[in-house]
Amino acid sequence: MTASIAPVLLPNIAKIPDEVSLDAVFADLSDDNVSAPATDVEGLKAVVARAQEDGIALRIVVVDTDPRGPEPLRDLATEVGKVEGGTVLVLSPSANGTYSDTISRVVLEEAQDRAFTGNPVDSANNFVDGITEPAPRWGLVTALLVLLVAAVAGVSFVAKARRGREAPPVAQQTAPVDGGHPTGS
């Protein structure tokens, strides 16, 4: 009898973009929470300050090239977020990745979808708009929809009940007296 070998489950290894040095990113973030090309730093610092006014500890990392998919950007955001905490936005020319220990993944992904502009400052501003907008009050929306459906059902019930009372009675048909056979003359 041969022993079967169970597949070994390896932990997911973060796929940080090759050209990115985590040490350089952390060093760059240390003074202003921005790691980006010099031309974008001032605009991104303003976005970070705006996020802080809304109580969000935001860090922004901009990489120069697109990785082979969104996973490396998300992994980079996660690695930075695990060390720095707060919310991290990583931008490349045509993709982004996020991490947050305070904002739900649903809100992050919705804001992330709005952040595709090709311009890091505009993208970061769109992202901050997405995470700071008030969320819909789904409980209130649900309650209003339930009330609306109940009202429509009630109106429909009343209308059917009235129609039933107001309908003329169906004419009674009488059977011929002679047993139902036509009489001939």
Per-position pLDDT tens, the chain of length 185: 455 554 555 455 558 777 888 889 999 999 999 999 999 999 999 999 999 999 999 999 999 888 887 789 999 999 999 999 999 999 998 889 999 999 999 889 989 888 888 899 999 999 999 998 766 666 777 888 898 998 898 888 888 888 877 666 665 555 555 555 555 55
Cα atoms found within 13 Å of the Cα of residue 106, Cβ hemisphere only: 2
Per-residue model confidence as pLDDT tens digits over 10-53: 455 558 777 888 889 999 999 999 999 999 999 999 999 999 99
Cα(118)–Cα(75) distance, integer angstroms: 20
Q: What is the dihedral of CA 100, 104, 105, 108, to 10 degrees?
A: -70
User: Under CATH, which number does the domain 22-132 receive?
Assistant: 3.10.310.50
Global pTM? Answer: 0.67
Q: Supply φ then ψ for residue 98, to 5 degrees.
A: -140, 160
Burial class (CB in 10 A: 0-12, 13-18, 19+), 77: buried
